[in-house]
Structure 1
Amino acid sequence: MKIELFNFVDNSIKLLNNYDEVLNEIAQNAIKLLKDILCDDDNFLNITYRIKSENSLREKIIKNNFFLKYEKPETMMLDLSDLIGIRLECRFIKEEEQLFNIIRQKFNTYVGDGYYKIIDDSPIMLKLSEKQPQIQKNGFEIYKIDGIYKYGKNFFRFELQIKSMVNVFWGEIDHKILYKNYNYMINEGFFKDIMASIKDSLYMVDKQLMILYDHVSSLDASDEESAKEQLNYLLSKIIHDVFSNKIKDDFGFVFNFKNSIDFIVEYLQMKAVKEKEISFGENFINLINKINKIDYSKMNIGEYIEFNKSIKCNDSFMNQISDTIIEIMNKDFSWHLFMKILYQIENSGYEENLQDFLYFLRYKYSLVFLDMADKFKLSKDEVNYVEDVVLKFISSRFKNNYSINYLIEFCLNEIKKGYYEIAFEEDISANYISSKLIARLENYEE
């Protein structure tokens, strides 16, 4: 027969499970409201939530003697300040205060006991009377706000935290190493000193990233493309270093694939902005997070790539290029590595990655033919003729010369250079332009 304490714990766990649907609904409603408030603010990055787990609830009841404090699990449950945890994320430590100030400005209707609402009939109340940021037991600061959500006749409590990327990372380390570590530590002071030192280092990283971000943000509109180039260069360097280290670990040598990485970064940026309608900077942060995860994950570069289905595009150029890449990607190391990098970053199937890449590649080639009509006073049919002839030559040549640099760098650059070479000639025909461009494309050397 169980003692009363554990009966209380078991009943509390059952109640938590019964409340699951309600708690998730409350969290999602609260997130929607906060998103609406912060959606136009550049400092706001992301918002997440969690519902207290069974193990966490069980631990809290026993550690805090809630069985002695509360007669019923229902009373205890509605009194838990962190039954729901909501986290607002921003990029830098400096922005935590800015997000808090926005929330304080919006929640300006006082309802008593230090709590505020946006409007009288809002179900959400935030306790904004307390000094922020609060000081934690470990001595560090945190923006932590108590909240209440009115659901029917009940009032459910939640905890709202505002954290920068550095503090999100730090919080996970601190929680697992110190707060959740119950092993007896003879030198607990030593561990705390080391953690404090790590915290200082993370703050330094935050300041350096802030300087970089402020520098890019300060560039005026005329320098927007320059700013993007700088960010892409930085991202390319990070990806290159991560995969270079993995190649060296697996094979013992360093491999130069800078051009491939540059092209991949441009592709990923354009794809993300187009599909998700997010800003260039937001995607930069997302990609950095993905690369960080890859850096700590295992990756077998030499493992054979298998396709489960064929790739069919609505363009003969893409189909021919696709057939060649599939044929040689397990033979040519550059293409093999290219596909592995896309696979790791995109976290989707090889077939989908290749197809999306081919559409981007086709788009890049289309761009170099777009201004032909204006440059050479050609009709749409004449431009289509030149494009068709040149792309047929490239796809045919690529079957035998399957260099990745030939496809993603040399051909694109030579077509652009070819335009300048014949720009001032008279009586230029579509046939003449085609022959001139193909003559340039024949001169490729590894």
Structure 2
Amino acid sequence: MELKVFNFIDEVNNLLEDKRSILEEISIELSAYFQEILILNNEGYMNVNSRVKGNESLKEKILRNNYYKKYNSPQRVIENLSDLMGVRIECRFIEDEKRVYKILKKHFSKRDMDGYSYNELNNRIRLDLEGKQPQEQKNGFKIFRIDGVYIENGNKCNFELQIKSLVNTFWGEIEHKVIYKNNNYVMWDGFLKDIMASIKKNLTMIDNQLQIVYNQFNETNSGEPEVRKVQMELLLSKMIYEIYSNKMKTSIGIVVDFRKSCDTIMKYIFRSNNADNLSEYNHILLKTFTRLNEIGRNKVQFNSELEFEREVCFEGEFCEIIGNKMLQMLNEEFEWNLFFRVLFEIELGNNAEDFETFIAFIKERFEENNFDDLYINLDVKHGDAIKKDIMYVIAKLFVEVDSINFIYDNVIEKINKATRKLSRRIGIGIKNIDQWESVKGVFLKLFEYKLLALFDKNVKVSEVKDLINIGEKGNDEVHISSAVIDYIYKLDDMDEIKAETAIKFFKI
């Protein structure tokens, strides 16, 4: 026969499950409310989390605190459970904990008859701010832990609010999982207490060091926002690499160098979130840092296929060509799979939507301001038509080159440089669309060679000879370089030559 205490626990858990959906809604409201307070006060918090007490955690608490003796009904246990719901405000540093607490004290300025503080704009949510904070725990360490109540239509639900810095969040994980969840350590109590105190001291020192780095980061280049934006992108790129390289080693036993992928992902995250100023960059920095902190605690599989919730859609010819190529490769080649695995995990949500947004981002990267000079002598309609021709060449070569390097920042910059040069040449020399139609085959082929040269690719000798013949016939737009004289007789014995060599034969 089962002990009565376990029957009692089952009854409490059943009651909790009956209330869980309502409690989940309340916990979301609590999280949103505290987040709104911090946003209004422009406080640099990192995240606000909320949760409803889990069944196993509740079972453990009932047994540990003898609630089955203290309360005579499951309803009484639920009513008196101080952490029935939990809200945690995560901030960067220990000093930030105090700032957040002061903001809450200022916001919850009214007091009810039971001693709870509230704000007139929302009297459903109340905090007990009379006690001393931070509270000293049994282990001697301090924590900002505040009791709260949510009141609606006379019904009262308890919640516990914690304010924790990064290192104190980490410390809580250590203490909870290593000590609190492991009774085998009891015999080592004295020794363990000293060790844990040493760990806490070191974490506090790390917090001080991080605070110094952060302050220095804010002071350095304060007059150079673009420099600071680059620094932020590099900082998070390095964090992404460190987290995923460690998890890759654990999962598949090897680590591949994907630093440049991390750089591209980070640039995409900032651009796709429309970060235009330093304030927005700081917000995304904290948001991404928080997400990476969550990923760091999760298990990542590197040998599974990526899936989409729906069919992916593309806008325009360029996006369709490169998008379909990426779709083909992301579950065939490890580098592409890794790239989008990281991107999808950081950008939580819909994989199909994130993929479409990334393709649009790549299109924007290749467009940027590269085509402004096209419109020197041409109207918008004809300029746009030539732009489409050039973008098609870039998309076609993406498929042909078949390398993830194509979307790396250093390569995109080189391609964009070649694009701007071609656009300038067209803008100055081409007066109308008919003139473009007569020379575009040569212009685009030589542009193609320039891009292929970036990837050390070969081109067909027959195509090169055709271009030489066009130049020899006196085409005003194409001139043969003297370099071809030393090479022309060698071409007869070759099927292919380096693209880098081929472009030296011509002057446009």
TM-score by length of 2: 0.73
Aligned equivalents of 1:33, 1:143: Cα separation in 2:
18
Given the superposition, is the C-alpha separation of residues 121 and 203 from structure 1 closer, same or farther in structure 2, using an over 3 Å criterion?
closer
Q: Contact (CA 8 Å) 1:93, 1:163: kept in 2 or not?
A: yes
**Residue in structure 2 matched with residue 35 of structure 1 by the alignment:** 35
**Residue in structure 2 matched with residue 181 of structure 1 by the alignment:** 182
**Residue in structure 2 matched with residue 267 of structure 1 by the alignment:** 268
Does residue 444 in structure 1 map to residue 454 in structure 2?
A: yes
Q: Contact (CA 8 Å) 1:126, 1:148: kept in 2 or not?
A: yes
**Residue in structure 1 matched with residue 128 of structure 2 by the alignment:** 127
**Residue in structure 1 matched with residue 162 of structure 2 by the alignment:** 161
CA-CA distance at 1:105 after TM superposition: 0.7
**Residue in structure 1 matched with residue 233 of structure 2 by the alignment:** 232
**Residue in structure 2 matched with residue 283 of structure 1 by the alignment:** 284
Q: Contact (CA 8 Å) 1:109, 1:120: kept in 2 or not?
A: no
Aligned equivalents of 2:9, 2:427: Cα separation in 1:
89
Aligned equivalents of 2:176, 2:163: Cα separation in 1:
16
Given the superposition, is the C-alpha separation of residues 110 and 304 from structure 1 closer, same or farther in structure 2, using an over 3 Å criterion?
closer
Aligned equivalents of 2:244, 2:32: Cα separation in 1:
38
Aligned equivalents of 1:213, 1:78: Cα separation in 2:
43
CA-CA distance at 1:217 after TM superposition: 3.0
CA-CA distance at 1:107 after TM superposition: 1.4
Aligned equivalents of 2:11, 2:338: Cα separation in 1:
54
Given the superposition, is the C-alpha separation of residues 382 and 198 from structure 1 closer, same or farther in structure 2, using an over 3 Å criterion?
farther
Aligned equivalents of 2:217, 2:194: Cα separation in 1:
35
Query: What's the secondary structure of 1:97's corresponding residue?
Result: helix
Given the superposition, is the C-alpha separation of residues 191 and 273 from structure 1 closer, same or farther in structure 2, using an over 3 Å criterion?
farther
**Residue in structure 2 matched with residue 203 of structure 1 by the alignment:** 204
Name the amino acid aligned to 1:173. I
Q: Contact (CA 8 Å) 1:317, 1:391: kept in 2 or not?
A: yes
Given the superposition, is the C-alpha separation of residues 405 and 136 from structure 1 closer, same or farther in structure 2, using an over 3 Å criterion?
same
Name the amino acid aligned to 1:441. L
Q: Contact (CA 8 Å) 1:15, 1:74: kept in 2 or not?
A: yes
1:39-78 alignment, distance < 5 Å:
39-40=39-40, 41-78=42-79
CA-CA distance at 1:380 after TM superposition: 1.7
TM-score by length of 1: 0.82
Given the superposition, is the C-alpha separation of residues 317 and 209 from structure 1 closer, same or farther in structure 2, using an over 3 Å criterion?
same
CA-CA distance at 1:359 after TM superposition: 1.3
Does residue 404 in structure 1 map to residue 401 in structure 2?
A: no
Q: Contact (CA 8 Å) 2:312, 2:356: kept in 1 or not?
A: yes
Unaligned residue ranges in structure 2 (runs of 5+): 457-508
Aligned equivalents of 1:335, 1:387: Cα separation in 2:
28
Q: Contact (CA 8 Å) 2:93, 2:211: kept in 1 or not?
A: yes
Name the amino acid aligned to 1:156. C
**Residue in structure 1 matched with residue 104 of structure 2 by the alignment:** 103
CA-CA distance at 1:16 after TM superposition: 2.9
Aligned equivalents of 1:253, 1:264: Cα separation in 2:
21
Deviations, residues 245-282 of structure 1 (Å, cap 9, x unaligned): 566778887654443332221112222457xxx93233
Name the amino acid aligned to 1:91. R
Q: Contact (CA 8 Å) 2:374, 2:423: kept in 1 or not?
A: no
Q: Which moved more, 1:8-17 or 1:415-424?
A: 415-424
Query: What's the secondary structure of 1:46's corresponding residue?
Result: strand
Query: What's the secondary structure of 1:162's corresponding residue?
Result: strand
Name the amino acid aligned to 1:444. L
Given the superposition, is the C-alpha separation of residues 59 and 255 from structure 1 closer, same or farther in structure 2, using an over 3 Å criterion?
closer
Q: Which moved more, 1:201-210 or 1:424-433?
A: 424-433
Q: Which moved more, 1:69-78 or 1:246-255?
A: 246-255
Aligned equivalents of 1:351, 1:27: Cα separation in 2:
30
Q: How many residues align?
A: 442
Given the superposition, is the C-alpha separation of residues 111 and 296 from structure 1 closer, same or farther in structure 2, using an over 3 Å criterion?
closer
Name the amino acid aligned to 2:363. R
Equivalent pairs: percent with the same residue? 33
Query: What's the secondary structure of 1:117's corresponding residue?
Result: strand
Aligned equivalents of 1:159, 1:295: Cα separation in 2:
25
Name the amino acid aligned to 2:320. N
Q: Which moved more, 1:201-210 or 1:335-344?
A: 335-344
Given the superposition, is the C-alpha separation of residues 284 and 10 from structure 1 closer, same or farther in structure 2, using an over 3 Å criterion?
same
Q: Which moved more, 1:334-343 or 1:206-215?
A: 334-343
**Residue in structure 1 matched with residue 372 of structure 2 by the alignment:** 371
Aligned equivalents of 1:190, 1:261: Cα separation in 2:
42
Aligned equivalents of 1:255, 1:206: Cα separation in 2:
31
Larger Cα-atom Rg:
2
**Residue in structure 2 matched with residue 19 of structure 1 by the alignment:** 19
Aligned equivalents of 2:299, 2:24: Cα separation in 1:
34
Deviations, residues 297-331 of structure 1 (Å, cap 9, x unaligned): 66565667788987542211222223434455566
Task: Please tell me the root mean square deviation across aligned C-alpha atoms, in Å.
Answer: 3.8
Name the amino acid aligned to 2:44. N
**Residue in structure 1 matched with residue 84 of structure 2 by the alignment:** 83
